[in-house]
Structure 1
């Protein structure tokens, strides 16, 4: 295979047992991606050849001027990634102990990142390790904040109604699916995102008006309502699959460029996600702390009966919470679709446990606890990939939640309460 130009990618399917000639495909045809950034002590490493083989596929590329490289692969699975050391600049070598070739495995996302270290390595080369740690921490902060958007909505719903809503993951999925659908109609992506968030808010309104309020009026217990939410989650998930399909689709601009800020490298999409999440969370915090409706919401969450006796329309507050929770979940789903990247019918289900982990870790029913817990979960998930296999990063986050709750059952910002 001829070496492609810098930053370009060449692909071929592996030869079949009957001797069929390999079939060439164009870059960007596949929706699963293996990527990384090559950076030495003196900066990015350009024109370094990387090859990927596995699952009946072969592909290679060269790093661009920023050291970035990516290869799209036809299906998820395990692949062998090899760096051609003969194409490294003079004087640059892989750090001692670096595996080359190495095996990478997809773990529930359509994008797998692998990093090669150069120079003296992790033990002695603290600069390289520091760069990787900063990159993972920034990615973790971005991931934690987008988790927080969904977790804050879930926490508001739990705080005002006591309901553990297992259909919240599908509210996350709806946001991404609606954004994809509106963008497919030819609308600008910004307009599609706004309409998708409005659609998520409408779904929250319809859920409360058509299902949860009637159940509350009937005096249904929280456990039966939780079981109803599980059934609703399954129904919504497969309705989405029936209409959307089982394939992974990409939102416009899903493959953003990599930005360099000193020792920090972050994709344009992750930076946009971080800024958007932070702004929305600050707005929610202001509304809760400084406005009448925010104070009413906190009063209902603290004691619904006392709030009603004080003249607060509890049903109106709960309806507003469902609307806001649906909008936040939809926006979180859109940002999650860019972070993965990709839109699938079960993408909300994939991070539902992490959302619950953030809410539980911070303290059930506490909005700021959900924010803090989600950031901790996001940071741990991404930073842990320095030491753990990608398959284990979500397990590690849930383990941290379990350990914290063993010593502080009410969560970080929760308060102790007597039950019974």
Structure 2
């Protein structure tokens, strides 16, 4: 090929590229800008690793923390998405079901761990007096008190389910045909009532619930870190097991098929004889149980909690549900992973008090390109 031919081909390539760009819609062009921005950040990440500005262990820690945060967000988000897909309303009291699981589950764990040492009142009410117990004194960690923590986990789910079913019976069942807006407003009232009932019973003070987490240091050489927090590892193992179990239930059981059918078309489900009230009962049971477990595991990870723990988490839960696609359980999982990992990995470039802003900014950018969410807004379980 001669020099002239090469010179002639360059304007043609430029013109072709210009034509392709001009043919893109505004939404497609915006998506291209987002992809280019992510590519630039990834290149900068590689540069930092190569130049030694970012240690591989630090990056791994960010990714691990992102996974931990993603999983407890996912447990709560899946429950919220199930409620929406079956009952068709945004349940703003879902965050306070998370709080219910945190308080009730750890009250039971403390009761078992401190039985015979402190009074029942001091243990169940997390007595804040100087002579009262603390999580450290009770040995609330997965090695020192495994039975207490396991029983507390189960009771967090069961007691949260009981509260959710009572709320449904007293409030939501009576408003089943009132429409999504009326139910949404009712759920805000339920959230406030539940939160302050918890505050009246347990006080509004923050509580330190656990002892310091045991650290596993004797690790094989192929593990990319030198130490593992056993509370975080326990959270990850339990959350993955519950998510896998829910997947099996939805895909391979009669109940799961009925739930998916009702999520697709409630009227058709009624015509075909699917017992809708049983499906609604199962939805509340599973969704509330996951929310209660999420609250309990958050405390296991963070070590302390207050009556606002679920309310503050609610925005991230909704963000994960919307980002993944409202009504899609698998979308809620994907959205949670994006939110949790973005919050933590963004610390490479921005201060810690701005990391949630990065997650919400990414969510907004993605929704501009895909308004129905990452999984296309599939409104099925």
1:124-152 deviation line (CA, Å, top 9, x unaligned)? 216x5322111110111111011111111
Written as runs of structure 1 = structure 2, the 5 A alignment for 1:160-171 is: 160-171=86-97
Instruction: State the match for 1:34 in structure 2.
Output: none
**Does the alignment pair 1:305 with 2:260?**
no
Q: Quick one: distance in 1 between partners of 2:278 and 2:240?
A: 27
**Does the alignment pair 1:247 with 2:201?**
no
Q: Relative to 1, partners in 2 of residues 1:158 and 1:416: Cα closer, same or farther, differing over 3 Å? A: closer
Residues 83 and 284 in structure 2, CA contact (< 8 A), matched pair in contact too: yes
Instruction: State the match for 2:60 in structure 1.
Output: 134
Give the 3-state SS of the residue equivalent to 1:163 in structure 2: coil
Q: Relative to 1, partners in 2 of residues 1:156 and 1:254: Cα closer, same or farther, differing over 3 Å? A: farther
Residues 254 and 269 in structure 1, CA contact (< 8 A), matched pair in contact too: no
**Does the alignment pair 1:329 with 2:255?**
no
Instruction: State the match for 1:185 in structure 2.
Output: 111
1:41-65 deviation line (CA, Å, top 9, x unaligned)? xxxxxxxxxxxxxxxxxxxxxxxxx
Give runs of ≥4 in structure 1 deviating > 6 Å.
Answer: none
Instruction: State the match for 1:235 in structure 2.
Output: 193
1:226-276 deviation line (CA, Å, top 9, x unaligned)? 011111111111111122122222333453425456322431111111111
Q: Quick one: distance in 2 between partners of 1:272 and 1:254?
A: 14
Pick aligned residue for 1:343 from 305, 312, 315: 305
Q: Quick one: distance in 2 between partners of 1:344 and 1:416?
A: 35
Residues 189 and 252 in structure 1, CA contact (< 8 A), matched pair in contact too: no
Give the 3-state SS of the residue equivalent to 1:185 in structure 2: helix
Instruction: State the match for 1:263 in structure 2.
Output: 224
Give the 3-state SS of the residue equivalent to 2:228 in structure 1: strand
Query: How far is the alpha carbon of 1:382 from its aligned partner?
Result: 1.3
Q: Quick one: distance in 1 between partners of 2:353 and 2:180?
A: 34
Q: Quick one: distance in 2 between partners of 1:190 and 1:248?
A: 23
Residues 146 and 277 in structure 1, CA contact (< 8 A), matched pair in contact too: yes
Q: Quick one: distance in 1 between partners of 2:169 and 2:264?
A: 23
1:55-94 deviation line (CA, Å, top 9, x unaligned)? xxxxxxxxxxxxxxxxxxxxxxxxxxxxxxxxxxxxxxxx
Pick aligned residue for 1:125 from 47, 52, 65: 52
Q: Which has the higher contact order (CA 8 A, sep 6+)?
A: 2
**Does the alignment pair 1:279 with 2:241?**
yes
1:210-230 deviation line (CA, Å, top 9, x unaligned)? 2111111xx212111101111
Instruction: State the match for 1:145 in structure 2.
Output: 71
Query: How far is the alpha carbon of 1:416 from its aligned partner?
Result: 7.5
Instruction: Provide the aligned length of Structure 1 versus Structure 2.
Output: 295
Instruction: State the match for 2:183 in structure 1.
Output: 225
Q: Relative to 1, partners in 2 of residues 1:133 and 1:281: Cα closer, same or farther, differing over 3 Å? A: same
Q: Quick one: distance in 1 between partners of 2:309 and 2:214?
A: 20
Written as runs of structure 1 = structure 2, the 5 A alignment for 1:35-50 is: none
CA RMSD of aligned residues (A): 1.9
Instruction: State the match for 1:202 in structure 2.
Output: 162
Q: Quick one: distance in 1 between partners of 2:370 and 2:329?
A: 18
TM-score, structure 1 as length reference: 0.67
Residues 165 and 229 in structure 1, CA contact (< 8 A), matched pair in contact too: yes
Instruction: State the match for 1:378 in structure 2.
Output: 340
Instruction: State the match for 1:80 in structure 2.
Output: none
The structure carrying a bigger helix percent of its residues is 2
Instruction: State the match for 1:318 in structure 2.
Output: 280
TM-score, structure 2 as length reference: 0.74
Which consecutive unaligned segments of at least 5 residues does structure 1 have? 1-120
Instruction: State the match for 1:17 in structure 2.
Output: none
Residues 328 and 377 in structure 2, CA contact (< 8 A), matched pair in contact too: no
Which consecutive unaligned segments of at least 5 residues does structure 2 have? 1-47, 114-147
Residues 99 and 309 in structure 2, CA contact (< 8 A), matched pair in contact too: yes
Q: Quick one: distance in 2 between partners of 1:255 and 1:291?
A: 38
Residues 210 and 304 in structure 2, CA contact (< 8 A), matched pair in contact too: no
Residues 360 and 411 in structure 1, CA contact (< 8 A), matched pair in contact too: yes
Instruction: State the match for 1:404 in structure 2.
Output: 366
The structure carrying a bigger strand percent of its residues is 1
Instruction: State the match for 1:215 in structure 2.
Output: 175
Residues 139 and 266 in structure 1, CA contact (< 8 A), matched pair in contact too: no
Q: Quick one: distance in 2 between partners of 1:350 and 1:123?
A: 38
